[in-house]
């Protein structure tokens, strides 16, 4: 039996594929390469000593999915495929709802047709919206999202809940990631954003190698310890391992269940800059800019449920996140385009 990983050539997907192969699973990847390249999977193959079976195609293409389910014995699906840039989603809402919501509907329909009933969905802390108290806990009602991206994740979670009620043979877990950062410790795979990065760590790393001049810090007047925004950063390998533990837990899930995957602590932007400088020995030039539209002051996870029910908790701290980000960035200044 194999596990189908949609979006498996992407940032989190490639690290999860490596972790799956590492524990002996057979893996099939479906990716349209809209935000990734096959090079990530070549490197995963070098690291794992074996390959995932790769299909280039779109989750919105039912025929392509049918073909995959016909040609492989799939026991479960981990669904990473989707568009993820918050700012872009406000400019291209239809593309985001099409890819993230309609694409997931097509995938679920084909899973049902094929009799594949175990499903893990990449959700996000963004589903807690702008008004939930911190730390975010799974019992807090979700909603109040502030971007089409966030709303697409919210909608899929709601669809999954309805679907799981109607199809009791399905076991579904939504994993709500906080802020994934870092890279595999080999420095061979990592995050490879297109153009100027939107997210903090890739931006800092590109300042460090001289590709970007200085970091703009969005807001120095938040009601936080040092005035900069606080987030719950989580090492991508901890996140990958969380998927393995969620896979193992699916057999205990009747219907739908959501888990936060975060460290349970917040770090400020300035603290992240300092930690990166310490790990890399490189000084990061920065200036404080006005707040970025839509940003929240501070949020982090209540990470207890995943610990209690999945047996999962983070094993890597800020030092490892910075060390591995730097290792990946300096070894691959052009990402996978080397």
Residue 179 or 280: the one with the smaller Cβ distance to ligand WQD is 179
Answer with the entry of ligand NAD, ligand WQD, none that 81 interacts with (C-beta below 5 to 8 A by kind). ligand NAD
Listed in sequence order, the residues at least 6 apart from 38 whose beta carbon sits closer than 8 Å to its beta carbon are: 9, 54, 56
Answer with the entry of ligand WQD, ligand NAD, none that 198 interacts with (C-beta below 5 to 8 A by kind). ligand WQD
Residue 312 CB, nearest approach to ligand NAD (Å): 16
Residue 300 CB, nearest approach to ligand WQD (Å): 11
Between CA 336 and CA 303 the distance in angstroms is 33
The tokens 């799939």 sit on which residue?
A: 74
Is residue 179 close enough to count as binding ligand WQD by CB under 6 A?
yes
78 - beta bridge partners? Answer: 5, 120
Kindly state the number of chain residues that form the binding site for ligand WQD, as judged by CB under 6 A: 18
Q: Which of 33, 53, 140, 218 binds ligand WQD (CB under 6 A)?
A: 218
Between CA 55 and CA 9 the distance in angstroms is 10
Catalytic site residue from 97, 149, 177, 222: 149
Q: For residue 264, how many other CB atoms are within 10 A of its CB? A: 18
Cα radius of gyration rounded to whole Å, the chain: 19
CA 37 → CA 152, 191, 194, 207, 264, distances in Å? 24, 12, 11, 23, 32
The closest alpha carbon to 27, from 59, 75, 81, 83, belongs to 75
Torsion angles phi and psi, residue 172, rounded to 5: -130, 130
H-only helix segments in the chain:
11-22, 39-48, 62-71, 86-91, 93-96, 103-114, 148-166, 200-208, 236-249, 269-280, 304-305, 318-331
Torsion angles phi and psi, residue 130, rounded to 5: -90, -10
Specify whether 96 is catalytic.
no
Is residue 104 close enough to count as binding ligand WQD by CB under 6 A?
no
Residue 236 or 269: the one with the smaller Cβ distance to ligand WQD is 269
Residue 24 or 133: the one with the smaller Cβ distance to ligand WQD is 133
Q: Are 326 and 208 in contact (CB under 8 A)?
A: yes
Residue 83 CB, nearest approach to ligand NAD (Å): 6
Options 34-42, 110-118, 159-167, 216-224: segment touching ligand WQD (CB under 6 A): 216-224
- If residue 15 lies in a helix (H) or strand (E), which one and from where to where? helix 11-22
Residue 126 or 332: the one with the smaller Cβ distance to ligand WQD is 126
Q: Which of 34, 198, 274, 304 binds ligand WQD (CB under 6 A)?
A: 198
Is residue 132 close enough to count as binding ligand WQD by CB under 6 A?
no
Q: Are 5 and 25 in contact (CB under 8 A)?
A: no
- Look up residue 70 and give its two tokens: 């016909």
Please give the residues from 257 up to 316 whose contact with ligand WQD meets the rule CB under 6 A. 269, 292, 295
Q: Which of 84, 235, 243, 323 binds ligand WQD (CB under 6 A)?
A: 84
Residue 6 or 280: the one with the smaller Cβ distance to ligand NAD is 6
Is residue 199 close enough to count as binding ligand WQD by CB under 6 A?
yes
Is residue 89 close enough to count as binding ligand WQD by CB under 6 A?
no
Answer with the entry of ligand NAD, ligand WQD, none that 229 interacts with (C-beta below 5 to 8 A by kind). ligand WQD
Residue 95 or 226: the one with the smaller Cβ distance to ligand NAD is 95
Residue 44 or 200: the one with the smaller Cβ distance to ligand WQD is 200
Q: Which of 16, 104, 124, 171 binds ligand WQD (CB under 6 A)?
A: 124
Between CA 100 and CA 152 the distance in angstroms is 6
Q: Are 289 and 253 in contact (CB under 8 A)?
A: no
Note the residues at the interface with ligand WQD (CB under 6 A). 84, 86, 124, 126, 179, 198-200, 203, 215-218, 229, 231, 269, 292, 295
Catalytic residues: 149
């Amino acid at each position: 039996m194999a596990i189908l990983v949609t979006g498996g050539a992407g940032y989190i997907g490639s690290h999860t594929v490596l972790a799956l192969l590492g524990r002996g699973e057979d893996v099939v990847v479906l990716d349209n390469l809209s935000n990734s390249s096959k090079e990530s999977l070549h490197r995963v193959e070098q690291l794992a000593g074996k390959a995932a079976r790769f299909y280039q195609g779109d989750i919105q293409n039912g025929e392509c999915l049918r073909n995959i389910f016909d040609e492989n014995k799939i026991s479960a699906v981990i669904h990473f495929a989707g568009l993820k840039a918050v700012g872009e989603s406000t400019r291209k809402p239809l593309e985001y709802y099409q890819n993230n919501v309609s694409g997931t509907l097509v995938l679920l329909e084909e899973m049902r047709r094929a009799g594949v009933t175990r499903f893990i969905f990449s959700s996000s802390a963004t589903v807690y919206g702008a008004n939930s108290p911190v730390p975010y806990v799974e019992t807090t009602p979700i909603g109040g999202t502030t971007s089409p991206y966030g709303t697409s994740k919210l909608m899929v979670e709601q669809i999954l809940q309805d679907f799981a009620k109607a199809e009791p043979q399905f076991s579904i877990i939504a994993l709500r990631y906080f802020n994934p950062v870092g890279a595999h410790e080999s420095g061979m795979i990592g995050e490879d954003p297109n153009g100027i990065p939107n997210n903090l760590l890739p931006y800092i790393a590109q300042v460090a190698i001289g590709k970007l001049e200085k970091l703009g810090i969005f807001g120095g007047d938040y009601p936080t310890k040092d005035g900069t925004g606080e987030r719950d950063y989580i090492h991508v390998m901890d996140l990958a391992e969380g998927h393995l533990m969620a896979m193992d837990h699916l057999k205990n899930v009747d219907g739908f269940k959501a888990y936060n995957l975060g460290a349970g602590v917040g770090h400020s932007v300035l603290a992240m800059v300092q930690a990166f400088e310490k790990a890399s020995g490189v000084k990061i030039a920065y200036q404080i800019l006005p707040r970025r539209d839509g940003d929240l002051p501070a949020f982090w996870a209540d990470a207890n449920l995943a610990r209690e029910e999945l047996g999962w908790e983070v094993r890597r701290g800020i030092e490892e996140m910075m060390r591995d980000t730097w290792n990946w960035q300096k070894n691959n200044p052009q990402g996978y385009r080397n």
